[in-house]
Every structure is written in C-alpha cells, then in structure tokens.
Structure 1
C-alpha cells in the first residue's frame, strides 16, 4: 500500500477533480496505476477512478504524457511572513439576535 507522501502528485487527496484532470496529463502509465491502486484502497471515488482509467486508456491508445514536473508545485498558495492584522481588539462586539430580522425592532440588543 502506498502512503500519501509517496504518490506521484503532491497533496493528491486535497486536489479537486478539475485540478486532478489537468495534473494527470503529465503522468506516465505506471504513475496512473499507482494513483488508481491508492484511490481504490482509500476513498474509492467513482468519478476520480473513471478519470484516472480514462487517462490510462488514452495512454494505451498512443497518447503521450505532457511535460511538467508534478512534484514542483502543490497548487497551494505559499505561506507569507506578514501575518494577519486581525486581533481581539479589531473583532466585532457580540450582540443578540435581531427580533424578526429588523434592527429597529430590537431595542437594546444585549446592551446594558
């Protein structure tokens, strides 16, 4: 059984099917077989398996893998060193629910 870190696509389990559809174009048949085996033994998602098997059939019929290094980019945004300006001081003050959804009909709204 293959671990998630040994798969040919980084963050495979987190990829939406639309992204996966594009990313598998550069994979050879052996890597597709690895993904199919992994998918069958883990999530076993029918649309994903159909996508992988269709691509495997295309390769068997003579299609060539496209260029590209799938290990280079995970598709996730990089971490930034800037941090977040959000703090407890900038958060909204808690309040009760609106009466009938109208602010004017809710006198005081949890105010002392």
Structure 2
C-alpha cells in the first residue's frame, strides 16, 4: 500500500492534531481509513505514540470493534471556540494602587534620632 497524500487523508488537519484529539477522532474511522493514516504516519513523522495508537485501533477493528458514530470533521476541543481572555471582570478586579514613592526629590529624609 502506498502512503496517501496529505490532501486525501480521512481526517482533515491530521498533521496538526494533538494525540488526545487524534485518539478520540480515530474511533469514527473504518479499518481502511486507519490503515491509510498509519501508512502516512510511517512515511512522514513516524511518531511512536501515534503509530502505537493507530496500530492498537486497527487491531481493535480487526477483532470486531465497530467505528463509533461521529463526524471526523466535527468540532475539536483543540480548536478552542470557547471564551478567550481573562475571566476577571471590573467587579472582581482589585482597586488600582500606586506604590509609595522612593527617593523622590519632594520626599525629604527624616532624621533617625540622635546620632552623635
């Protein structure tokens, strides 16, 4: 089997998926599609955790496991899509303050007592 090209892979943006995202999304693929990904992985990055994951899933499918329902192009947690920015609001933020001045010309030194 020749390795498929990036544009024909069963999972879009396969090269950019973190292993956690790949693990959940590969469950929706048939054995032939997992074989395609495995061939692509072995000829390109050949990352051991990814090849182990794909090999294990392929073995599960060959042992009778069925692909789970789901869309390989569905929302991925790694895309974000949630809120961004700080959860702090003006109501929960502290009052602004300025640090005390140190060594400014208008702040005169005070005597330390009798130093004679």
TM score, norm. by length of structure 1: 0.64
The structure whose Rg is larger is 2
Gaps of 5+ in 2: 82-101, 103-116
Give 3-state SS (helix, strand or coil) of 1:64's partner: coil
Q: CA deviation at 1:76?
A: 3.0
Please show how residues 27-66 of structure 1 align to structure 2 within 5 Å.
27-66=29-68
Q: Could you say if the C-alpha distance between residues 22 and 72 of structure 1 is closer, same or farther in structure 2, counting changes exceeding 3 Å?
A: closer
Q: CA deviation at 1:73?
A: 4.3
How far apart, CA to CA, are the structure 2 residues paired with 1:38 and 1:73? Answer: 23
Q: CA deviation at 1:71?
A: 3.1
- Report whether the alignment pairs 1:76 with 2:75: no
How far apart, CA to CA, are the structure 2 residues paired with 1:6 and 1:41? Answer: 15
Give 3-state SS (helix, strand or coil) of 1:8's partner: coil
Give 3-state SS (helix, strand or coil) of 1:13's partner: helix
Relative contact order (alpha carbons < 8 A, sep ≥ 6): 1 or 2 greater?
2
What number of residue pairs does the alignment pair up?
A: 79
Alpha carbon RMSD of aligned pairs, Å? 1.8
Give 3-state SS (helix, strand or coil) of 2:68's partner: coil
Tell me the equivalent position of 2:96. none
CA displacement, residues 3-50 of structure 1 (integer Å, 9 cap, x when unaligned): 212100010000000110000000000000000000000000011000
Q: Which runs of 4+ in 1 moved over 6 A?
A: none
